[in-house]
Amino acid sequence: MPTPLTALFNTKLEEGVNDLAQQYPDAAFHFFDAFQLSHEIDADPASYGFTSGRVGVCGKYVAQCEGYVWQDLIHPAVGVHRLIADRAFAMLEIG
């Protein structure tokens, strides 16, 4: 779950994005909560195609993080970054 401060920030950010969309109806604005998605992945890694929610022992060797959710104690592994990017890009394609 997001921390209370992160949740408040994201709520205010989403409100701001929605306000911009109302002020500029000819422009496209999107809100994407990568932090929430990372927590959903962390809660059920297998449903997103990951074999382990544990921290990989990656260091400089990113390939050793394949299947892990976390590269270290605070950074998502490459596969999570890829999933976040794919989701954000899909949102832009949908419009």
pLDDT digits (tens, 9 = 90+) for 45-75: 999 999 877 666 666 655 667 888 888 777 7
Instruction: Give 11-35 pLDDT, tens digit per residue.
Output: 999 999 999 999 999 999 999 998 8
Distance of CA 49 to the CA centre of its chain: 15
The 3-state secondary structure of 3-36 reads: CHHHHHHHHHHHHHHHHHHHHCCCCCCCCCCHHH
Its pTM stands at 0.75
The residue extents of the domains of the chain are 1-31, 32-95
Residue with tokens 């998605």: 37
Which residues on adjacent β-strands are paired with residue 15?
Answer: none
Q: Residues 38, 76: contact at Cβ < 8 Å?
A: yes
Instruction: Give 75-95 pLDDT, tens digit per residue.
Output: 788 888 999 999 999 988 875
